[in-house]
Amino acid sequence: MPPSHPRPEDIQVLADALSATGEHTASAGELLLDHLVTVGDHATQQALDGLVDDAVDGLREISAGCRELALSLGPVATRASASDRATDTGARPQVRELR
């Protein structure tokens, strides 16, 4: 079972990893477009163009999703870090039991 209060540094590491993944997938999509070839046969070219377009669209969606999650985690890490500094007594936070 995951901890009920994640550490702020863990949240920040996750946000950084999501941000990096967003950057990498965006650049991978651009790289894929840069390497698009012309094959000569019309039907084959249409199929290749459709495949590349779908792949680039998928990479852009992954990139946008990762960036959105990273942005939403930023304030969470900041709030968690501030609350930990305010209540830092060296002990773990108190957790209520679920009923």
* 5-26 pLDDT, tens digit each: 778 888 889 999 999 999 999 9
Domain boundaries along the sequence of the chain: 8-35+43-86
What tens digit of pLDDT does each residue of 22-43 get?
999 999 999 999 998 888 899 9
**Residue 74 — pLDDT band, cuts 50, 70, 90?**
confident
- Judged by average pLDDT, the poorest of 33-42, 45-54, 55-64 is 33-42
Angle between helices 42-86 and 8-34 in degrees, nearest 10? 160
Do the beta carbons of residue 48 and residue 39 sit within 8 Å?
yes
pLDDT at 1 over 80: no
- The predicted pLDDT at position 76 comes to 72
pTM: 0.68
